[in-house]
Amino acid sequence: MAAATLVGVGVGYVWKAHAAMATIQLFTGGYHVITKVAIFARDLARTRLESKW
């Protein structure tokens, strides 16, 4: 952050940008986990259906 303040960017802006990127990464990670669980559940249900036939 020290380098950013040297080129004229305020500390407040750097903090806001960092918080925004961290929030986006959390949402993206959560979406990834939910999607992976949903695909796993679908495949598990499909496997159970196929094994009954």
**Identity of the residue numbered 46:** R
DSSP state of 7: T
Q: What is the pLDDT of residue 52?
A: 67
Q: What is the number of domains present in the chain?
A: 1
CB 28 within 8 A of CB 38: no
Q: What is the pLDDT of residue 4?
A: 52
Q: Confirm whether 32 is domain-assigned.
A: yes
Q: Confirm whether 1 is domain-assigned.
A: no
Q: What is the pLDDT of residue 35?
A: 96
Q: Confirm whether 50 is domain-assigned.
A: yes
Query: What confidence tens digit (pLDDT) does each residue in 3-53 have?
Result: 555 556 577 788 899 999 999 999 999 999 999 999 999 999 998 888 766
Q: What is the pLDDT of residue 40?
A: 95
Domain range enclosing 50: 19-53
Q: What is the pLDDT of residue 51?
A: 77
C-alpha span between 41 and 34 (Å, rounded): 11
Q: What is the pLDDT of residue 14?
A: 87
